[in-house]
Amino acid sequence: MTTNTSASAADVVPSLTALGFSDLEAEVYVALLRESPATGYRVAQSIGKAAANTYKAIESLQQKGAVLVDDGTSRLCRAVPAEELLAQLERAFQRRRQEAAGALASLRPAPEDDRVYQLQSVGQVYERCHTMLDACEKVAVLDLFPLPLEELRGKLAETARRGVRVLVKAYEPAAIPGAEVVAHVRGRTSLKRWPGHWLNVVTDGREHLLALLAADGKGRHQAVWSGSAYLSWVYHSAVASEVMVAALQRGLQDGAAPDELRRAVAAYQSLFRADLPGVRALLERFGKPERTGE
């Protein structure tokens, strides 16, 4: 018999229920990790649950591959080692994910939607940012406080490696491989002024996400996303202009010559071209304006 008492059930059970175990299944599995092999009756006694319910939980855990049961008359139970169980669950998840991806791919895409949607958690905010950057074809413009910048650093570098132009207005000096990062000359003042972390992303002038995260980075004061091409293009223009202004302010601070500043402005003009995906979608949807003589 082996015993492991390094953690309490209260610490472990929530993690297991998040993986799809019932509360009782989680308690039984933890008990068996601590004391294996053991009979179902012994487990029921150790966790203070009815024997009949405990036997049902053991049967369910056996079907999930989390518990092994002796074929002998004693019906001794042993927990599958945690690493083996987690690897098994991960493989099962990946298999179900692939099946779901195949089924979902056959569905027709939803029609264009101009609504603005609330995002309810920090996890949802970052996951939506990843999705936007994965779909980005031409240019991504971002306005990021230090904490969101660090969270997105790897994805931004990955996006830039695909040939997407990535521009970031930052509030502290930072470097991201392949991306153009411009630090606000009064960035630290802005960081002190705001009660949280600013995270604004626009991709291809086609969709945008605006979020103010809580000071601890674990909650959000407000976060919205929209696929409205019009609203996204307006905000693309705003953030791109902010990046350009920040670059000019930095140049002036560093004593750049007028010709250097003009070249800097010219380098940002392509951000406002009408051939970006968001603008094309906007014109295709509503039609190009008719030209009239004056």
Q: Where in the sequence of the chain do the CATH 3.30.870.10 domains occur?
A: 116-286
Nearest to 205 by CA among 179, 224, 180, 231: 231
The residue among 159, 121, 117 whose CA lies nearest residue 140 is 159
CB 165 within 8 A of CB 139: yes
pLDDT given at position 164: 95
Cβ neighbours of residue 97 under 8 Å, at least 6 residues apart? Answer: none
What is the per-residue pLDDT for 201? 96
Question: What tens digit of pLDDT does each residue of 171-213 get?
Answer: 999 999 999 998 887 778 888 888 899 999 999 999 999 999 9
**Tens of pLDDT along 38-50?**
999 999 999 999 9
**pLDDT at residue 294 in the model:** 45
Q: What is the sign, positive or negative, of the torsion defined by CA atoms of 227, 209, 244, 167?
A: negative
What residue ranges of the chain are covered by domains with CATH 1.10.10.10?
2-99
Q: How far from 62 is each of 54, 95, 282, 293, CA to CA, in Å? A: 12, 20, 55, 79
- pLDDT of 1: 44
Spans of the chain, pLDDT less than 50: 1-5, 294
Using DSSP's 3-state secondary structure scheme, residue 85 falls into: helix
What per-residue confidence (pLDDT) applies to 289?
Answer: 60
pTM over 0.75: no
* pLDDT at residue number 70: 86
Buried/exposed 35-65: b ≥16 CB within 10 Å, e otherwise: bbbbbbebbbebeebeeeebbbbbebbeebe
Whether residue 58 contacts residue 47, with contact meaning beta carbons closer than 8 Å, is answered with no
Tokens coding 176: 């991201």
- Superfamily of domain 116-286, CATH level 4: Endonuclease Chain A (3.30.870.10)
Measured CA to CA, the distance from residue 79 to residue 28 in angstroms comes to 9
For residue 139, what pLDDT is reported? 93
Spatial distance between the Cα atoms of 156 and 161, rounded to a whole number of angstroms: 9
| Residues in the chain, total | 294
Q: What is the pLDDT of residue 166?
A: 95
Q: What is the pLDDT of residue 128?
A: 95
Architecture field, domain 2-99: Orthogonal Bundle (1.10)
Radius of gyration, CA atoms only, the chain: 27
pLDDT for res 109: 63
Which pLDDT tens digit goes with each residue over 64-83?
A: 889 998 887 888 999 999 99
